[in-house]
Chain A
Amino acid sequence: MTDNDQLSGLRTEIRDWLAHNLPADWRDRQGGDNTAGFLAMQREWFTKLVEGGYATPHWPKEWPGGGRSLAEQIVMFEELARGGAPRMSLFFVSLYHAAMTLIECGTDAQRARHLPAILKGEVWCQGFSEPGAGSDLAALRTRAERRGDRYIVSGQKIWSTLGHFADQCLLLVRTDSSGAKQAGITFLLMDMKSKGIDVRPIRQITGDEEFAEIFLDEVEIPVENLVGQENEGWKVAQVTLSSERGLTLVELTERMALSLWRLVDAATQGTGDTGMLDRSVARSLVDISARIEAMRAMLATLMANRMAGREAVGDASILKLAYSRLSRDFTALGLRLQSFAAMRDTRYVLGAGYETGNWMFDFLNSYQYNIAGGSNEIQRNIVSERVLQMPREKLG
């Protein structure tokens, strides 16, 4: 990243702030099966970030902490990662997806109602995917019918991150089935306490419950909760999906780079004595380290291009493919090195990233990045069709 004096000043400021504000015992307090501890720790940390002005750097400058450049936002994510802070798991969708959607596409009343609430800890989830609409999101079928001043919504949503803790939901519904599938989609804000909503957490292969299914049975949503125009929700959804601007990958890559020592630790049975390293293991460590450094360099280039407004089509897909494979290989190497110890189901820490110390957990969890947000297969379609200009699939 381009570090001028102002950015390095910000780095120092965040390091100082972390030294005074990061709870030393946060891992103990939010780890394991302790859901109540996770929620309490996340809320406590979020409140501190808001007070420090570090939760909303991407918001407009009239908001506390807002008006920061993308370069400053990158610095914040990097420093919070380097300082070993918890991730913003519970509030990430609220701060990015919900807030950015409302700021760019919402009404004044919606902004006045929700933005201050988000700063006080209103939790949002996303109701986009459906059992029959994953990679093909626009095929979604959850129906909304307008009756007077409300929409009546029925259907099923899936993969809502932390949806079982959410107060509000960004909801995509079908209001018209007559034309192209993208054309009949509408974007609504749904209060999760409404009648007719049933939320069930989804247990993942890690044993963790980070996602939820949302069943909707004639849920009433007031028309004033419409974002944008009826049947024009697809455009709004693009704003939602581009709201985090690569910052998550910056953070995750930085956390991975700073967790490389865990592989060295596992490879040396905790002694740190690299003189005794098995040669094939040593060579694998060099390669993983090379790919992490390459990932950092590629992200730095992408973010610089983004700041300069010259991002190329498909860049984000190339990055995501590179990262998702790296995360799988990184954790698979840990799994191999930790051997039987990794096969014991030990406690894990939610919202940390490569810090659980259990490589089986991290390995299993790495599938997330290969599937969520557009699976690797979809990304390969994008790279081959839009970057390499190979013929497009015939779409159904």
Chain B
Amino acid sequence: MTATIEDARIDPEEIRDSAQRLLADMVDRRAGWEARPDGAAALDQAMRELGWYQLIAAEAEGGLGQRFDVLAPIYEELGRSLAPVWLSGTMATIDALYATVSAAAEQLVAAVLENGWRMAVVTLAPGQSLAAASAPMVGGAPDATHFLVIGDGEAPPLLVAADAPGVSVTEVTSWDLGRSYGAVEFSDVRNVLFRLEGDDVLPVVRAHSELALACDSIGGASQCLSETVDYMLGRQQFGRPIASFQALKHRAADHKVAIELARSLVSHASRQFAVRGDGWAVLSAQARILACEAYAAMAEDCVQLFGGVGFTWEYDAHLFLKRALVNQIIGGSPDDLRDRIVGDVCQRAQTARL
């Protein structure tokens, strides 16, 4: 084979098309809200068959050798369709394993792909450790085979099997019934499968997780805006569609601007992260802050713009609202992110100055 790396690049827009087709076919977004089976296991199986889990693994481990830029459209489409799966825990773990300095990490990536392991990222509160910790709401925990445990400080992330002694997972019924969550507790856990050593490991886990949530939020916010405008076009009052009232049109326009501004930063940060280009760690956190804020604002206004029916369980406005609000805080609140990066932001400002 003489093919260059560039030849082997998959077009992110082709991935998006394929994701849209799959998700349109398989996602029943109201399933969790109507106590129907959510189909997450079947969707996960289909994702596996399409090779999504292999995308960023190296060819030596049976992967496709791609970069983050092909995952971004998948995360966005998962958000747009309100899909019931958590892809990012496993993918962030694969990404992080490649950021370690150990050859054993590659064998672990191969094991993830071969055995279909599913990871969830657990962020410990300050002062907690594997000796004693409880994380009240971890996305995807009930289906996880392993946890990637990251702390408050800069200690190396740890990979722990979900069935290791001292690990317990309790399914949590959250307000967001569209995805599964679990409470994870550690009590005197000694059996660590792998310590992910390396300067970039923790920043990679964070950036990957944050960009996944940012993309999910951009997809969700865009879909929410589109459905809100459709509703406003159909809903008649005073003899005309409410979409013709300027006060409401301007609100929709403001949401469009906020979403597009956030989308621009998410795309830029995703490209920078894909090639580990300048500023990727700070940009990823900033992208999540803007994207989650735009989604939350859009979804909050969606309920209001739908009026009375927006307040009902039957209509979908609250599906977006609840997912948006979880996206904003899970694994770290906007303020946590701000406090973490402000030093870097100021330092960059002070060095690039007029």
Contact = CB atoms under 8 A, between A and B. Distances in A.
Contacts of B287: 290
Q: Which of B241, B342, B352 has the most CB of A within 10 A?
A: B342
Interface in A77-96: 81-82, 84
B283 A391 contact: no
A390 B352 contact: no
A258 B352 contact: yes
Contacts of B354: 81-82, 84, 255, 258-259, 261, 355
A391 B246 CA distance: 9
Interface in A292-347: 293-298, 300-301, 318, 321-322, 325
B338 interface: yes
Contacts of A283: 335, 338-339, 342
Contact of B346 (A264, A321, A355): A264
A389 B264 CA distance: 22
A251 to B, nearest CB: 12
A259 B352 CA distance: 8
A168 B234 CA distance: 52
Q: Choose among B246, B337, B345 the residue with the greatest number of A CB atoms under 10 Å from its CB.
A: B345
A189 interface: no
Contacts of A286: 286, 289, 337-338, 341-342, 345
Interface stretch (A157-165, A226-234, A378-386): A378-386
Contacts of B347: 274
The range of chain A's interface size is 35 or more
Contacts of B262: 294
Interface in B211-269: 225, 229, 232-233, 240-241, 243-244, 246, 249-250, 252-254, 256-257, 260-262, 264-265, 267-268
Contact of A318 (B249, B257, B341): B257
A293 B232 contact: no
A301 B264 contact: yes
A388 B343 contact: no
Contacts of A389: 229, 233
B290 A291 contact: yes
Give chain B's interface residue range (CB within 8 Å of chain A).
35 or more
Describe B's contact surface by its main secondary structure: helix
A289 B349 contact: yes
A285 B246 contact: no
B353 interface: yes
A391 B283 CA distance: 37
B2 interface: no
Contacts of A287: 289, 338
Contact of A298 (B229, B260, B283, B335): B260
B339 A279 contact: yes
A209 B98 CA distance: 60
Interface string A240-280: 00000000000000010111110110000000101001010
Given A285-B345, A390-B243, A294 B265 contact: yes
Contacts of A393: 244, 246
A40 interface: no
Contact of A297 (B253, B265, B337): B265
Interface in B263-312: 264-265, 267-268, 283, 286-287, 289-290
Contacts of B346: 264, 274, 277, 282, 285
Interface of A: 81-82, 84, 255, 257-261, 263-264, 272, 274, 277, 279, 282-283, 285-287, 289-291, 293-298, 300-301, 318, 321-322, 325, 355, 377, 379-381, 383-385, 387-391, 393
11 contacts: A260-B352, A263-B349, A277-B342, A282-B342, A285-B349, A294-B261, A383-B256, A388-B256, A389-B229, A390-B232, A390-B233
Task: Pick the 6 closest A-B CB pairs, nearest first.
Answer: A290-B286, A294-B265, A384-B249, A297-B268, A298-B264, A383-B253
